[in-house]
Amino acid sequence: MSALHLTVRSVGLEVGRDTARRWLIRGLELDVRAGDWVAVVGPSGAGKSTLLRALAGLRAPDEGRIALDDQALTAMVPRARARRIAYLPQHGEPWLELPVRELVLLGRLPHLGRLARPGPRERELADAALAQVGAAALAERAWSSLSGGERQRVMLARMLITDAPLLLLDEPTTGLDIGAAARMLAACAPLVASGRAIVMAMHDLELARQHARTVVCLGRDGVRVGATDDVLTVEHVARAFDVHVRIGPRMIFEVDDTR
């Protein structure tokens, strides 16, 4: 697994069509290197998922440039890009009865020839990836039989088997109970320690505060990027989410009904 440097320069992203087009994000500047954990936070509709799709090379920015090791993402061959960037969308594919190990093996396709099939070595890698995320016992299970937390850990294993140095996850803890969310994030921590980079859209600011080193806040007052403690302050969060905030051992949010 090689080092990486993802650069985001003066990036703007639009949504809508024709006269209804509007800017979600403008002027975003970001650097992501090996060992970084970046949380993308913001209100619903602020552009978190749109940004992650752009960072995955699945849509071009409407202005500015996104590059991986100085090569524009949209200029990269998709197979080569898939070896460098693994992306977990918020709503995955309905894999139905596909066995877990076979699903994880799909992550090796960017490394195989067009007609090649996974062999014993790939199966060993799949089992190792499942073990790494605490899901070894699920290898023979059908996808349809898994809980939400189990599915997210299996999809993380599929990302690991790509050997990609950059992992993009779109709100992977959404809909999970406290324990499942904690296990998911606990599985991510060693990946960062080993030199992978994670960019994760997160709806829970307390979890972002605990895990991320850098925060991209897509707020109602614009974009803010910086160290976690510098961005997730009372003032910045209040403006970004239009709520009152008190920070003690945990963040406490209060709706201001007078606004």
In a domain, 259, yes or no: no
Q: Return the SS3 of 9.
A: strand
In a domain, 172, yes or no: yes
Terminal-to-terminal C-alpha distance of the chain: 50
Beta bridge partners of 245: 253
Is the confidence at residue 63, as pLDDT, over 60?
yes
Number of domains in the chain: 1
Per-residue pLDDT of 33-50, as tens digits, reads 999 999 999 999 999 999
Whole-model pTM: value is 0.89
Domain membership of residue 236 as a residue range: 5-254
In a domain, 29, yes or no: yes
Question: In the numeric block, which tokens belong to residue 48?
Answer: 């978190």
In a domain, 209, yes or no: yes
Is the confidence at residue 245, as pLDDT, over 80?
no
Burial of 120 (0-12, 13-18, 19+ CB in 10 A): exposed
Per-residue pLDDT of 138-184, as tens digits, reads 999 999 899 888 988 999 999 999 999 999 999 998 888 888 888 88
How many angstroms separate the CA atoms of 4 and 156, rounded? 20
In a domain, 19, yes or no: yes
In a domain, 160, yes or no: yes
Q: Kindly report the CATH number assigned to the domain that includes residue 173.
A: 3.40.50.300
In a domain, 215, yes or no: yes
The pLDDT assigned to 220 comes to 83
